[in-house]
Amino acid sequence: MAKEIKTIDEKSIWDDARQMLAKAAEDGVETAWDRLDQQSPHCRFGESGVCCRNCTMGPCRISKKAPLGVCGADADVIVARNFGRFVAGGSAGHSDHGRDCIEALEEVAHGRTDDYAIKDEAKLRRIAVELGLPEEGRATLEVAKDLAAEFFSNYGSRRQELSFAGRVPRQRRDIWQNLGMTPRGVDREIAEMMHRTHMGCDNDAANTMIHSARTCLADGWAGSMIATEISDILFGTPMPRQTMVNLGVLKEEQVNILVHGHNPIVSEQIALAVNDPELIALAKAKGAAGINLAGLCCTGNELMMRQGVPMAGNHLMTELAIVTGAVELIVVDYQCIMPSLVTVGNCYHTKMVTTADKARFKGAEHVKFEMDNGMEQARRVVKMAIERFGRRDRGRVKIPAEPVQMMTGFSNEALLGALGGSLTPLIEAIKAGKVRGAVAIVGCNNPKYQQDYCNVNLARELIKRDILVLVTGCVTTAAGKAGLLMPEAINQAGSGLQEICGALGVPPVLHMGSCVDNARILQLAALLANELGVDIADLPLAGSSPEWYSEKAAAIGTYCVASGIHTHLGHPPNITGSELVTNLALDGLNDLVGASFLIEPDPFKAAERIDERIRERRLNLGLSA
Ligand code: XCC
Ligand code: SF4
């Protein structure tokens, strides 16, 4: 059968993307969509999760004719093991990022860096008190030392519970305890996942799935949560501000630098360096009007939340941003950075700079960022970008759009601030049915979908139904480009949400940060549950990742479900080769943890089903539907 080749319009809903896809074709640049065509159809064994490569008696692939691997493992065991390793990878990504944050905090605490400092001292002290660390009358850096040590202990094997376990409602902790799902330590759960999935260990699929959940809970309630809290402490807790989004944030007359990756430790320094008057003067001396910084993906979210740096695009826009021909340099840390960016950059004058030893790219220049050289390295990178400006081929530059305004910065602290210091007004609005519930739409782009079609339409459908939407990660850019992150978007919301958001002056879709910042949503859910004296699973909440692609997104979905938040995915992970695992994910988990996964590629149908769930939860709480 001939392969169906998608038209440009079928690839993305956005005009900026479509123009750049056309330009990419003209310029002879290959993109993720082209490579998806080459890779399709995908391997059925891989797709359904029944290919095992865990030892060299195999690889084994399960079929009707060969239902067992050489060792005797069946499809259920193989699927569960593959899923376990998949989410262990995602949890490792978030949590290792968290570890880098702890190391940064420790360096600051010990006075070993001049480039970083504690920006939100009040938050540092608040968390110290929350975790029972001595705080009163002590110097800030002394408290920081203890907090860093406390956080490090979450990665080891000596704890029975994570530091932030106290944030989890009692009912939820009991559920975890009874299921053997209580996360003990980040590295421990990840290492144990690798152990369990070695040949000849955990050969009970359901048992492996329980540990998968435990591994992801360690990510959500420790690795990611620690990353978020420390980033706030070091770089400031986000507060509402306005910024702009789409490829139109690139500036034709300026040196354009893009930051891409996840950890603000690099991008925050770049953000400072681009404002250095000496470097701006240098740029002007080279004929540019100035230096322009914009973000991509999650490090873009981090910078946007805290500094209001504009967002050029999400995951599938990263190649297309370079296709504008206007980007001098792209500086990356880690995660979600397509190796193809080096190649695309080489088609133009765009230089790619890597900064982390654990994420090097062949063909990119490596400028290693460390805690004691952040500013020096950032200045070096900015100078490289300025030097590149002269090599720009002006005839090949095309910046395709006018930027769209958006509001960002809704940390829980900001949300509480907007509510006047307590959750009561929100709870009252929920009880009155003006805000019927809340849904976190998170995660990625995936070229298997028309880019952002599901992300945007799901958000639109939910706010119509008076369901507040919270966004993080790459969905942020989608919602922002659709104009949903502006207070005016309440016109598209139901009357209840319109009234509440209108009174508060906030959009009906709130940007809560990067992917590690989904921890903010966990914390908010727990606060609401505790306030109402119920479990998280009793709340009219849901999660969704319509266009997800990454191991990290699967880890997020899993810790959401294990935390009691029903979670929608546009497509299943590679588990469909096991009926047992699939049934557990779609249904069985409900009995165990009070929430499960819901798979639905159509955003309109997904909204319907999420709404049903919220309706049910509301009725159970004795509220109107
Ligand atoms: Fe990556 Fe975080 Fe997904 Fe975007 S949303 S594609 S994981 S950058 Ni995290
Ligand atoms: Fe095959 Fe078992 Fe080895 Fe997997 S662990 S490759 S199923 S023999």
Q: What is the 3-state secondary structure (H, E, C) of 297-323?
A: HHHHHHHHHHHCCCEEECHHHHHHHHH
Confidence grade of residue 537 (pLDDT, cut at 50, 70, 90) = very high
Ligand nearest to the CA of 476: 1
Residue 4's pLDDT is what?
75
Distance 488 CA to ligand 1 centre (A): 27
Distance 217 CA to ligand 2 centre (A): 28
List, chain by chain if needed, residues with CB within 6 Å of any ligand 2 atom: 52-55, 57-60, 69-71, 73, 78, 199
Atom of ligand 2 nearest to the CA of 69: 7
> Could you state, in order of their start, the residue ranges of all structural domains in the chain?
75-235, 241-396, 409-620
Query: What mean pLDDT do residues 329-339 have?
Result: 98
97's tokens: 């990022």
Does residue 215 contact residue 189 with C-beta atoms inside 8 Å?
yes
Distance 583 CA to ligand 2 centre (A): 23
Distance 211 CA to ligand 2 centre (A): 20
According to DSSP, the residues that pair with 566 across neighbouring strands are 542
Q: Cα(first)–Cα(last) distance of the chain, in Å?
A: 48
Query: What mean pLDDT do residues 394-410 have?
Result: 97
The residue whose CB lies within 8 Å of the most ligand 2 atoms, and thus the one to mutate among 45, 71, 195, 203, is 71
The residue whose CB lies within 8 Å of the most ligand 1 atoms, and thus the one to mutate among 262, 263, 515, 544, is 515
Does residue 336 contact residue 262 with C-beta atoms inside 8 Å?
yes
Residue 105's pLDDT is what?
98
Query: What mean pLDDT do residues 469-493 have?
Result: 98
Residue 586's pLDDT is what?
98
Q: If you average pLDDT over every residue of the chain, what do you get?
A: 97
The residue whose CB lies within 8 Å of the most ligand 1 atoms, and thus the one to mutate among 259, 298, 311, 545, is 298
User: For residue 2, is pLDDT > 60?
Assistant: no
Atom of ligand 2 nearest to the CA of 57: 8
User: For residue 487, is pLDDT > 90?
Assistant: yes
Query: What mean pLDDT do residues 511-522 have?
Result: 98
Ligand nearest to the CA of 81: 2
Distance 191 CA to ligand 1 centre (A): 24
Fold of 241-396: Rossmann fold (3.40.50)
Distance 584 CA to ligand 2 centre (A): 23
User: For residue 3, is pLDDT > 70?
Assistant: no
Query: What mean pLDDT do residues 26-45 have?
Result: 97
Instruction: Return the C-alpha torsion angle 93, 94, 95, 97, nearest 10.
Output: 90
242 backbone dihedrals φ, ψ, rounded to 5°: -105, 145
Domain range 409-620, CATH class:
alpha beta
User: For residue 169, is pLDDT > 70?
Assistant: yes
User: For residue 269, is pLDDT > 80?
Assistant: yes
Confidence grade of residue 519 (pLDDT, cut at 50, 70, 90) = very high
Does residue 464 contact residue 492 with C-beta atoms inside 8 Å?
yes
Spatial CA neighbour of 419 closest among 407, 432, 410: 410
According to DSSP, the residues that pair with 567 across neighbouring strands are 543, 597
Query: What mean pLDDT do residues 468-496 have?
Result: 98
Residue 591's pLDDT is what?
97
Distance 312 CA to ligand 1 centre (A): 14
Distance 51 CA to ligand 2 centre (A): 9
Query: What mean pLDDT do residues 479-505 have?
Result: 98
441 lines ligand 1 (CB under 6 A): no
Does residue 607 contact residue 465 with C-beta atoms inside 8 Å?
yes
The residue whose CB lies within 8 Å of the most ligand 2 atoms, and thus the one to mutate among 53, 55, 76, 81, is 55
Atom of ligand 1 nearest to the CA of 515: 9
User: For residue 555, is pLDDT > 60?
Assistant: yes
Atom of ligand 2 nearest to the CA of 53: 6
Fold of 75-235: Substrate Binding Domain Of Dnak; Chain:A; Domain 2 (1.20.1270)
Distance 301 CA to ligand 1 centre (A): 10
Please determine whether the domains at 241-396 and 409-620 fall in the same fold group of CATH. Answer: yes
Query: What mean pLDDT do residues 134-161 have?
Result: 97
> What's the maximum distance between 2 C-alpha atoms anywhere in the chain?
74
Residue 551's pLDDT is what?
98
Distance 314 CA to ligand 1 centre (A): 8
